[in-house]
Amino acid sequence: MRRDRDVAERTQAGSPAGELAALDVWTAVITCCDHAGVDVDGHAALPGRAVPAGEVVKRVAVVIGTRAEAVKCALVVRELQSLPGVRPWVIATGQHEGAALEALALFGVRVDEALDPPAAGISLAARTAAVQMALAPVLIAGRFDQVLVHGDTVSALAGALTGFLAGIPVVHLEAGLRTHDLSSPFPEEGNRVVISRVAALHLAPTLRAAAHLTSEGIAAGRVVVTGNTAIDAVLHAAALPPQPSTGAGSASAHGWAEFARRPGRLVLAGAHRRESWGRPLERIRDAIGRLAVLHPTVNFLVPAHMNPHVQDLWRAGLPARDNLHLTGPIEYAAFARLLATADLVITDSGGLQEEAAAFGVPVLVTREKTERTEGLRAGCARLVGTDTDGIIKEACIALARPWADSTPNPYGDGRAAGRAAAACAWFLGLGPSPDSWPG
């Protein structure tokens, strides 16, 4: 259903045939499950999934599509690998093919099954359908005991729905984030709400996220507060020694490393969310350009998202300035070290709101709403919208009087991955009830 023409354009609707394929995915996935003898009306056990005599290993499918998912799931995978009786199986959907694999490798995690990536240029509906179709036979053949998905991406939604339809209990990492507005962020708010309805175990990053879940009728006994694994990941990555880089985000490819060594303060800026496409992102871009003129001794580095449409929007209007540099995505470890030294972040990214808090870096959130209200309440982030003059005003204030240095991190203590893995093991019957992070 289309809410309005603007949202319809952002969905990149595609052809009628593509939309029909998206609608047909339910029939195809359910048929695939039916052929395997699966009850699609609940979390029924797959035939033959009982552990053989003497075998105690439980198999956990970890579905990963984007770089952010790879970053936030990698240390959970490593924690699961360390637990007796648990075998994680990493499935890469190809949503952010190269970037996700690069991030997993950074944390020493290998992919067990790589799916063919969805075709480029298709609609959100068709992309979700394609990932479901690719996942269904893998999840069924693997006879998994759990499916772990993270957050609110196409891959997370497809993994959760496919696992649910295959009768496999779904564990939702980073559960309970809400803006209570299905159009912002779009489609992420809708994706995570749907995932919450089919998940069996909810790993909430904060007490507020857990409260959202229980207010929606989810039993408190199925919710564990873990802290956010983004904090574990960014602290781990920032502590890694620099390595020669040959990937897509390498200094040799984009020249950002030389720029980052310039004297002066550093501002990291960016915007990429779908609801920002068009005029909102143009206003954010214009604000960054004007700030670079107003603050010639401050360096503004813009690592643009890998989406070609987003990169084109950024290239279209930034002024040529010595203190302003546009680049592509930066490898995660290098980016984490940059973030640790930054003086200000201006972004619409959800993950960056969490990661910056790990280093006490203030964040201006260029969105109308955020699901990460903990940072606003703690004073380490401010919601500034997408008005050019408003962003400039708040950025000038932040550069004149930094305000987040000593703010306690409201998102985690760096031990969320261990709690998440322990909760998975508990739900599999392999350990005690886990302790929640007190927040």
Catalytic residues: 152, 174, 188, 272, 274, 305
Torsion angle, CA of 309/249/71/81, rounded to 10 degrees?
A: 140
Cα 37 from Cα 25, distance rounded (Å)? 18
Cα 120 from Cα 131, distance rounded (Å)? 13
First to last CA, the chain: 38
Residue at 321: amino acid letter: R
Beta strands in 201-354 (DSSP E): 201-204, 223-225, 265-269, 298-303, 324-327, 344-347
> Does residue 187 have a cis bond before it (omega within 30 degrees)?
yes
The answer to whether 160 and 173 have CB atoms below 8 angstroms apart is no
Secondary structure class of 205 (helix, strand, coil)? coil
Tokens representing residue 14 in the block: 């595609």
Which residues in 82-99 are b (16+ Cβ under 10 Å) and which e?
ebeebebbbbbbbbbbeb
> Residue 300: phi, psi to the nearest 5?
-110, 115
Cα 107 from Cα 278, distance rounded (Å)? 35
Secondary structure class of 4 (helix, strand, coil)? coil
Give the distance between the most distant pair of CA atoms in the chain: 71
- What are the distances in angstroms from CA 336 to CA 72, 237, 301, 344, 376? 13, 6, 14, 14, 22
